[in-house]
Structure 1
Amino acid sequence: WYASYINLLLYESAHQDYNSSFVRLCNLLYLFSRNSPSGEHGRINLTQESIAEILTVTRVSAARSLGRLRDEKIIIPHRSRIQIIDQKALESYCSDETLQS
């Protein structure tokens, strides 16, 4: 599943430059959740540091965006994973290009 995510991320990278770090985070979480192995739907095994590295943002910026999603009850962050509890709300923040891929 990781290889299929990488392929999607490469496709998305062309569309990510103009999106805010928050939208890029939402896109990342959406793509990971959509391509997660069966039985793990809505659970993403990534740390804040890994997310920051993937998105090329600071850890503080990633934490701020994750905090916003947590406060809006879209995700529940855990120690080294994230649980998506409101997929529709997450999708509402994603770019159109991501949702159409």
Structure 2
Amino acid sequence: MIEALMETRGVRHALLVNAQGEIVTAAGPRGPEADADLNLVAAGRAVIASLQATQGSGEWNDLLLDVDGGPVLLTPVGDQILLAAFDDVASLGRIRFAVRRLLGQI
């Protein structure tokens, strides 16, 4: 499923993480970034929960984190989160389009 994201120029790797913080599926090379990616997803969940509590809103579309290893886009997929790590913030539009296209196929 998420392997299709690897065809998008600039995507370094992608993962789908369940509500328990476990990797459901992964695509592309991750190397030592694997634990850091899971920590980013956990931190992203905390930020989103805090914002939802503050705003009284239950829905979110995506969250961009621009970290030392490069930008990461977190997108909800039911109770799971799709993480797409990519090369440059300038690629954000292309990455968001590819993610939306992928989610439309699910």
Common fold by TM > 0.5: no
Q: Which has the higher helix share?
A: 1
TM-score by length of 1: 0.37
Q: Which has the higher strand share?
A: 2
TM-score by length of 2: 0.35
Whose Rg is larger? Answer: 2
